[in-house]
């Protein structure tokens, strides 16, 4: 690992840190250290870093803004690549936009709304990155990324870069081909939007933001929705009906505002959250014969 560290530092790719705690990089503020943490300063430097990582045969994974993510207390083996500044460019061409994977989804939706472009209103309260949103087909308020994405520029583990079409992304509910079949990093996304009435778009976005503030506990560190909705039923409703709102294990607590949110009520560990997830699964299955599946991505050492 020291050889890899030295080579990455000498390559001047951006920030390079060893044994970096990941809690500050997640919205739930939980997570042990990454063996090696890098934040490339450009697309070119990311590609350079990937060539070095591949040469050393070290495991890697990417993170964006750390939402919808639970990192193990024991941290992550190998390299964690954070997409941030330097990978958040934006180009607008009529009704089509090209945006970097490190761009904030909330900031993007706000900026685009002010230009009278419609299609991203649903994203006004989703606290993730564009790359992460494409990776997991993020959605809300009856829409999702699959409805607007034209293509995604993706960097794969072997260093190849390829544009994947909407069809090749194989989107389904909170899922894309990048999660299991073809692991990769979304460098850029091209979205097809529509011209609309600026005042109406801004109003719709504000309504979505207000709804989130009123119904979801973003005043506490959390990771967003914990479980996928077992359609036609809703995870939050099942958890609430089971009487689990407010239930707590260690520092992890089921929100009293929304049953599908687990908040860090104070010094919660990943093991606290995992124990609470297992308790919810067991309770809902016993009461309603419904198997709950996590939406939050759980990563790191066991």
| Burial grade of 253 (CB within 10 A; 0-12, 13-18, 19 or more) | buried
β partners of residue 184: 156
Is there a contact between 239 and 280 (Cβ–Cβ < 8 Å)? yes
Q: Select which of 109, 225, 255, 269 is catalytic.
A: 225
Helices (H), the chain: 2-10, 43-56, 105-114, 130-136, 198-215, 235-241, 270-288
Active site residue 129: no
**Known active-site residue 198:** no
Considering 72, 174, 212, 297, which one is annotated as catalytic?
174
In whole angstroms, how large is the CA radius of gyration of the chain?
19
Which residue in the list 20, 39, 204, 295 is annotated as catalytic?
295
Cis amide leading into 75 (omega within 30): no
Q: Decide if 225 is catalytic.
A: yes
**Dist. CA 46–CA 197, nearest whole Å:** 38
User: Whole-angstrom distance between the N-terminal and C-terminal Cα of the chain?
Assistant: 20
Active-site amino acid positions: 174, 225, 295
């Amino acid at each position: 690992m020291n050889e890899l560290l030295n080579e990455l530092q000498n390559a001047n790719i951006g920030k390079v840190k060893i044994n970096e705690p990941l809690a500050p990089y997640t919205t739930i503020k939980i997570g042990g250290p990454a063996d090696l943490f890098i934040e490339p300063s450009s697309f070119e430097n990311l590609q350079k870093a990937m060539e070095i990582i591949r040469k050393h045969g070290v495991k890697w994974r990417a993170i964006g803004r750390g939402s919808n993510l639970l990192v193990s207390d024991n941290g992550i083996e190998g390299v964690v690549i954070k997409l941030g500044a330097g990978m958040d460019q934006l180009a607008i061409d009529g009704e089509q936009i090209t945006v970097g994977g490190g761009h904030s989804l909330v900031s993007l939706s706000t900026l685009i709304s002010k230009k009278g472009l419609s299609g991203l209103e649903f994203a006004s309260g989703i606290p993730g990155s564009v790359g992460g949103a494409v990776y997991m087909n993020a959605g809300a308020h009856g829409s999702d990324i699959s409805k607007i994405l034209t293509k995604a520029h993706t960097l794969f583990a072997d260093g190849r870069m390829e544009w994947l079409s909407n069809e090749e992304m194989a989107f389904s509910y909170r899922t894309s081909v990048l999660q299991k079949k073809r692991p990769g990093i979304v460098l850029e996304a091209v979205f097809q939007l529509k011209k609309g009435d600026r005042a109406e778009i801004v109003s719709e976005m504000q309504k979505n933001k207000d709804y989130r503030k009123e119904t979801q506990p973003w005043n506490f560190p959390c990771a967003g929705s914990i479980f996928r909705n077992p359609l036609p039923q809703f995870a939050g409703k099942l958890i609430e009906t089971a009487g689990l709102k407010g239930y707590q294990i260690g520092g992890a607590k089921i929100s009293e505002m929304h049953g599908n949110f687990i908040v860090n009520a104070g010094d919660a560990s990943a093991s606290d959250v995992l124990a609470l997830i297992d308790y919810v699964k067991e309770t809902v299955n016993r009461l309603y014969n419904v198997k709950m599946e996590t939406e939050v991505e759980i990563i790191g050492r066991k």
